[in-house]
Amino acid sequence: GTNGIRLTMESALTARDRVGVQDFVLLENFTSEAAFIENLRKRFKENLIYTYIGSVLVSVNPYKDLEIYSKQNMERYRGVSFYEVSPHLYAIADNSYRSLRTERKDQCILISGESGAGKTEATKKILQYYAVTCPASQQVETVKDRLLQSNPVLEAFGNAKTLRNDNSSRFGKYMDVQFDYRGAPVGGHILNYLLEKSRVVHQNHGERNFHIFYQLLEGGEEDLLRRLGLEKSPQQYQYLVKGHCARVSSINDKNDWKIVRRALSIISFNDNEVEDLLSIVASVLHLGNVQFAADEQGDAQVTTENQIKYLARLLAVEGSVLRDALIHKKIIAKGEELISPLNLEQAAYARDALAKAIYGRTFSWLVNKVNKSLAYKEGEFPGWRSTTVLGLLDIYGFEVFQHNSFEQFCINYCNEKLQQLFIELTLKSEQEEYESEGIAWEPVQYFNNKIICDLVESKFKGIISILDEECLRPGDATDTTFLEKLEENVKNHPHFLTHKLADQKTRKSLGREEFRLLHYAGEVTYSVAG
């Protein structure tokens, strides 16, 4: 029945819109991957980047600006039946909004895809759609502004240039937008997860640290930089040059700084708070330039007094306290406090750990501050008891680099879980419904990736459990003993491989301190070093 209706509706669309099929449900050869890709390609050539699979939208990154996000376009999708107009993000946004209004049920839009597929941009486009099409009032305007402006701020602190993408999200974000009984946005809340803190102290070749550092140096006023003890050149800072590409032609840091600075004011940061925030950003850069030399005993001593002076001022701590913290280890044993000196390697590690912790906490504080400005204020909006919520999930994408470590493992595991949810919500539940209604159909075979999720997360025998255990056990636990434990415990798993477990041919491509996971999206080789 629905297909019949869809076909009638589709005949009203222009010829261009009808290149290929605009809903994969209508694809004749529906089990063929080649036919699927060919349909995407045909449409993509005509700049049609959106195609449905039923109520799921597939979007292909065009890597250019398409004129399909104007207010005029938004109006085309407002309150219109899903299949009446050509596939678009706005149709998904409008559909969710209408379900929220008519059924008074909370809604959620999940956005998944590999790194660089366009997830973050899609989130922004959906928010813009609501900002333009939802009922407005003076107070609502403030909320809309803050919802939109939270993006550039969180991106400055949580996104970075990677090899895959100039603006790659290095944290996961779940954003709730609250709507009142009239359907106007009246508040919001952001949950952030797992910021990639290792980026603060190290970047792979061709990658950068988080945007904010470069924006501050390129765009900050001279007086401000002087107060922070910073120089305009990112090349001066150890933490900004690890990837050998501090400046990128496709990124305008100076301009982005202006946008971020304005956004901070909109989400109710006063000048003092902005300065406090930037003092902490600056302190991370100074920390990276702290250097050590060994004395006769081989113990580390700080050789860069200037940095300590700035750090003491920016972090409001005594210089001597800070210096001691960087070159000593405190151990509490049997109620006694033992202080022992660190060697060069340990001191560098302690410095980096401090920088990561400071940045990580600052990011969480920032999200909290954004949430306070988005918080729904009862007094401003009477009739508050009837708010409904629409959630937007923008999670980091699946990624494979030359060198993949714990961060990539977490990011890809996160994607694996999201994929599992998609399989549950679409293929599995849909077919179970057919079955319960006794509809005759040819079952669609699909790969259920629960087996990969279990490999990572199952209690006692999953990779994370084994890692936890190895970190806690007494004796000499190292990266290598962890790998050996993995080999013992998960050696028979079809999605797990190591040098030792592989056959002659595969062995050549696996180092001795690596393991390989066959993810849903492809295989990734992880290094256990560090």
Residues labelled as active-site residues: 115-116, 120, 165, 168-169, 397, 399
The letter for the amino acid at 482 is F
Are 419 and 453 in contact, with CB atoms under 8 Å apart?
no
Are 528 and 483 in contact, with CB atoms under 8 Å apart?
yes
Secondary element (H or E) of residue 227 = helix 222-228
Is 116 known as a binding-site position?
A: yes
What's the Cα-to-Cα distance from 386 to each of 94, 103, 114, 147, 181, rounded to whole Å? 20, 12, 37, 20, 6
At residue 331, φ and ψ (nearest 5 deg) are -125, 130
Is 459 known as a binding-site position?
A: no
Mapped onto helix, strand or coil, the DSSP state of residue 173 is strand
DSSP annotation of 210: B
d(CA 493, CA 189): 40
Residue (of 355, 264, 360, 353) closest to 315 by Cα position = 355
C-beta neighbour count of 506 within 10 angstroms: 12
d(CA 386, CA 104): 9
Q: Where are the alpha helices (DSSP H) in 229-339?
A: 253-266, 271-288, 305-315, 319-327
| DSSP per-residue letters across 365-419 | HHHHHHHHHH---GGGSSSGGG-EEEEEEE-PPB---SSB-HHHHHHHHHHHHHH
Is 118 known as a binding-site position?
A: yes
d(CA 152, CA 132): 19
Is 115 known as a binding-site position?
A: yes
d(CA 19, CA 14): 10
Q: Which residue has the tokens 């409001």?
A: 316
The string over 77-95, giving b where at least 16 C-beta atoms fall within 10 Å of a residue's C-beta and e elsewhere, is beeeebbebbbbbbbbbbb
Is 173 known as a binding-site position?
A: no
d(CA 463, CA 455): 6
Is 296 known as a binding-site position?
A: no
Are 513 and 527 in contact, with CB atoms under 8 Å apart?
yes
The string over 168-197, giving b where at least 16 C-beta atoms fall within 10 Å of a residue's C-beta and e elsewhere, is bbbbbbbbbbbbbbeebbbbbbbebeebbb
Structure-token pair, residue 508: 């050549």
Is 114 known as a binding-site position?
A: yes
* Binding site, annotated residues: 113-120
* Binding site, annotated residues for ATP: 113-120
